[in-house]
Homo-oligomer: A and B are copies of this chain.
């Protein structure tokens, strides 16, 4: 018997899509002390008709992956703690109901409600016209839409992998293709995994250029938190080399940029572009903690994978969407032409890949949160934080 239990849930190649299925620890890992389960469901009704979701319960926390929306992760739930946010978008919207070009190129916002929503791949960030090379080899103009296409592209291949022995890691993997003739052939393998009984999940993604020419790409992990973690007095803790306001609104509030307000009707979003420090292994860690400093989430990853961190503060009213986004990325979410001009836009040669690993952990209790803060302080290692007071601009 293989050391890995593998099961294909969706496969365009095999002409397969499993309508519903439950996999349990009893069935696959009878020796595992944690009663985990994986449930594949199909959503019905309204704009979520036909959406595939996979709920993984690791015995301690559960999370929901949405293959139909580019392997986005809707939420993590551990007891009364939910990682995610209360978007005004209540349904898990099928991409067929989204026109990315509507509302001046921000149609993406008609479906935005995930905890982690990947932005990319051909482009991410602000909408607006950019040049591209057309079929005649000439420069032409196209409208880039907010945060690109990947979150509204269904995964073509989705599989579950479960280790039959300790630590019994459960992996949900999906391939999402962003392909266009005379355009990019970018492939994302998106993986989220967890160990039964743990309070953590792990992202392990890879973007590959399957085309015949060099290909620019963008990839941003739009990771969003609302209540209960976000509240008045909550705080961002990050080892920071440099922070830049994106515009005048962010500049006006820069002296309190790590601090969060309670839900504030009429609040206008503040966005900060940050360069985190890493430790001498090249690893960084950032944290969002609550006011009481007894609950937090940490995101830990090699800085080389995601050199730039965007912090989106949107502590507006709950009806409007009370949220903050901690958004590590290969670029900032500025218009692609701006990131290109500033030398941040990465290029994949034919066949080349970019990998992203990230551990995301829930910290509970004052001790755990204090330890996580100490770890971040170690990474900072007394180095200076440069606060730049010149708005970077979006487009």
Interface string of A313-332 (1 = CB under 8 A from B): 00011111100000000000
Q: What's the minimum C-beta distance from A248 to chain B, rounded to whole angstroms?
A: 9
User: Which residue in chain B gives the minimum CB-CB distance to A145?
Assistant: B102
Pick from B13, B46, B137: contact of A45, CB below 8 A.
B13
A378 lies within 8 A of chain B by Cβ: no
Which of A148-156, A281-289, A340-348, A367-375 touches B?
Answer: A148-156
A88 lies within 8 A of chain B by Cβ: yes
User: Which residue in chain B gives the minimum CB-CB distance to A14?
Assistant: B45
Apart from A90-B177, A181-B321, A212-B319: 16 A-B pairs, beta carbons within 8 A: A10-B46, A12-B46, A12-B90, A15-B44, A46-B154, A46-B157, A95-B97, A97-B153, A99-B100, A101-B101, A101-B102, A103-B180, A106-B135, A109-B181, A109-B182, A110-B181
User: In the bound complex, what is the Cα–Cα distance between A266 and B44 (angstroms)?
Assistant: 45
- Residue contact B319 to A156, C-beta cutoff 8 Å: no
Which of A21-29, A47-55, A295-303 touches B?
Answer: A47-55
Interface string of A1-44 (1 = CB under 8 A from B): 00000000011111111000000000000000000000001011
- Residue contact B350 to A319, C-beta cutoff 8 Å: yes
User: In the bound complex, what is the Cα–Cα distance between A155 and B156 (angstroms)?
Assistant: 24
Interface residues on A, range: 35 or more
Interface string of A165-200 (1 = CB under 8 A from B): 000000000000101111101000000000000000
A386 lies within 8 A of chain B by Cβ: no
Of A45, A50, A177, A268, the most chain B CB neighbours within 10 A belong to A45
- Residue contact A12 to B47, C-beta cutoff 8 Å: yes
A142 lies within 8 A of chain B by Cβ: yes
User: Which residue in chain B gives the minimum CB-CB distance to A350?
Assistant: B319
Pick from B46, B145, B212: contact of A265, CB below 8 A.
B212
User: In the bound complex, what is the Cα–Cα distance between A47 and B153 (angstroms)?
Assistant: 8
User: In the bound complex, what is the Cα–Cα distance between A142 and B44 (angstroms)?
Assistant: 31
Interface string of A46-66 (1 = CB under 8 A from B): 111110000000000000000
